[in-house]
Structure 1
């Protein structure tokens, strides 16, 4: 069942099993606010089991680009297109959020972003490979993030 993420009344719906559910809900709401304000897009997620194609696409990119496998279970995912970009988000039980920004034309940007919810440790599979910058968010507290550029076609 789909869930429209509300960034004015933050809810942990769908994220209850996460040990950092409140922070992860804030991170998800932060993304929803960004897409609403920048693109007038309503950020809607669904359980990972119902978004298996999106989760697999993200996991394939991680595997083929950086030989990465995320150990935490995926809770929710979403995929949509805005202004020439295919976007995908996967939210994990650990508090990790991974997004893929994939330009639909060959000249555009293509990248994978990682965001860590406030209060979670850096996952072991990412700790030695990426440095994380910090940013503050009213909805999510302190967000730590990193990214890499996608080199191949997906």
Structure 2
């Protein structure tokens, strides 16, 4: 069942099994607010098991680009096509959120972003490779984020 993310009344719907469910819900709401304000897009997530193609896409990009395998269980995923950009997000049980920004025009921006929910440890698979910058959010507390540029074609 899909869930329209409400960034005014943050809910843990679909994220209850996460040990940092409240912070992950705030992070998801922060993303929803960004997409509403920047693109007037309604951020709607789906249980990961209902959209395996989205989870597989993010998994493939991570593996092919950096040899990364996320150990945590994916809980939710979503995809948006806005302003010629394909945005694919996966939210994991550990509190990690991964997004793939992929401009459809050749030569455009293409990157993978990682965001860590407040209160979670840096996942072992990311700890040695990435440094995380901190950002304050009214919805999510402190978000730690990092990214890398995608070089391949997906």
Sort the TM-score into its range (normalised by shorter chain): over 0.9
Match of 1:69 in 2: 69
Q: Report what 1:108 is aligned to.
A: 108
Moved over 3 A (4+): none
Residue equivalent to 2:83: 83
Cα shift at 1:80: 1.4
Distance 2:114 2:85 in 1: 18
Q: CA deviation at 1:51?
A: 1.0
SS in 1 for 2:151: coil
> Whole-Å Cα distance in 1 between the matches of residues 17 and 113 of structure 2?
23
Q: Distance in 1 between matches of 2:107 and 2:124?
A: 33
Give how far 1:107 is off.
2.0
Distance in 1 (CA, whole Å) between partners of 2:96 and 2:132 is 12
Q: How far, CA to CA, are the matches of 1:54 and 1:89 in structure 2?
A: 8
SS in 2 for 1:135: strand
Structure-2 residue corresponding to 1:131: 131
Do structure 1's residue 17 and structure 2's residue 26 form an aligned pair? no
3-state SS of the aligned residue for 2:63?
helix
Question: What is the TM-score of this pair, normalised by structure 1?
Answer: 1.00
C-alpha deviations, 1:62-121, integer Å up to 9, x for none? 000000000000000001100010000000000000000000001210000000000000
* Alpha-carbon distance in 2 for matches of 1:122, 1:144: 9
Unaligned runs of 5+ in 1: none
**Cα offset for 1:59?**
0.3
Task: Output the CA distance in 1 between the equivalents of 2:60 and 2:39.
Answer: 27
> TM-score normalized by structure 2?
1.00
Secondary structure class of the residue paired with 2:55: helix
